[in-house]
Structure 1
């Protein structure tokens, strides 16, 4: 897409995530945001791929309910919902429940590795057609010094992200050894997948 003037459709990003907003803006799209307000902890699935897909659907459905009162959109409007979890040694990790848990998570990643599984679900509100898919990224870490972990926990941002995992943060970036996949996927919205799904539902 060359310029925003050419965007023939509206986008609603069903997320209050700063990182997702940033990524969608980087992709050159104009959009508005709405948050879903669902109880994510009430939704359980064994497989990370199933969990993130079910959560994205639950978010999309919650927003659709809010929008239904407004009637059918006049223009083509796409709703993008997404979810990300961290997988460590086969276990699904969501946002840390405490500073202690965040510290435990970060200590685990030190000198080790984790993966993120992200889902994207795009719904064409004009036709009702929706399509979703998942993206997985592997992240390998050098040893993370205790001082860096202390600073991260003190700052608090790690308490609000899946698995307490932030790889783009200046305190963590020097200790990221290798990322197998796209950084934007780790941050919660894989660009290539999002673009493909947008094209698919239009």
Structure 2
């Protein structure tokens, strides 16, 4: 075993299917724990500050839950916790999950022939040493016109109602109308791979 590649336990602090898939694609074995925090209670002016604050709140909630159930002292290998958050920004305003079908429809109409951005945070904590590193990543997404019937189908299907800002780019219905993604798709989906990889190395 190389000295620079220690065995470690990895916990993904998220119940997001997309984040689980991305981390698995990166070749990691991990367990998941989710934080029960009131995200609406955390407010910041800048989206970058907001996603970092949310990731920290999630991490802290999971760590206190974890400390109650696990004895870390006995562990030789580090336990690493990855927490993350993503918001959509449109014309400088943070957009959360649509509150209604009407709002989801309006969100998608806004993106047509325009653009939106996602800001994603990753916060990695080494639970044994307490070392913590976090950063955010921003991606700009440009759209062609999105036909009304496509918007109707997406709303009928319902996935967009659970997506931040009603924004999905990997869906087969929306893919033809995505003009350009400046940044990485995995970041839009909630977990920038390169950043996550680097932060995990930094806390080991």
Q: How does 1:147-166 map to 2 (within 5 A)?
A: 147-166=149-168
* Deviation digits for residues 140-199 of structure 1 (CA, Å, limit 9, x no counterpart): 000000011001111111111110100000011000000000000000000000000000
Q: Determine the structure 2 residue equivalent to 1:3.
A: none
User: Within 2, Cα distance between the matches of 1:35 and 1:161?
Assistant: 17
Structure 2 length-normalised TM? 0.95
Q: How many residues align?
A: 197
1:93 and 2:92 aligned: no
Counterpart among 111, 120, 123 of residue 122 in structure 2: 120
Structure 1 length-normalised TM? 0.96
User: Within 1, Cα distance between the matches of 2:98 and 2:113?
Assistant: 20
Where structure 2 has 5 or more consecutive residues not aligned to the other structure, the ranges are none
Counterpart among 109, 128, 134 of residue 111 in structure 2: 109
User: Within 2, Cα distance between the matches of 1:22 and 1:71?
Assistant: 26
2:191 aligned counterpart, secondary structure: coil
User: Within 2, Cα distance between the matches of 1:52 and 1:153?
Assistant: 26
Contact 1:19 1:188 in 2 (8 A): yes
1:42 and 2:35 aligned: no
Counterparts in 2 of 1:165 and 1:121: CA distance versus 1, 3 Å: same
Counterpart among 125, 131, 134 of residue 132 in structure 1: 134
Q: Determine the structure 1 residue equivalent to 2:54.
A: 55
CA drift at 1:7: 6.6
User: Within 2, Cα distance between the matches of 1:72 and 1:164?
Assistant: 41
Q: What do you get for the CA RMSD once the two structures are aligned?
A: 1.0
Q: Determine the structure 2 residue equivalent to 1:182.
A: 184
Contact 1:72 1:125 in 2 (8 A): no
Counterparts in 2 of 1:7 and 1:20: CA distance versus 1, 3 Å: farther
Contact 1:60 1:81 in 2 (8 A): yes
User: Within 2, Cα distance between the matches of 1:96 and 1:11?
Assistant: 32
User: Within 1, Cα distance between the matches of 2:168 and 2:121?
Assistant: 17
Runs of 4+ in 1 over 6 A off after TM superposition: none
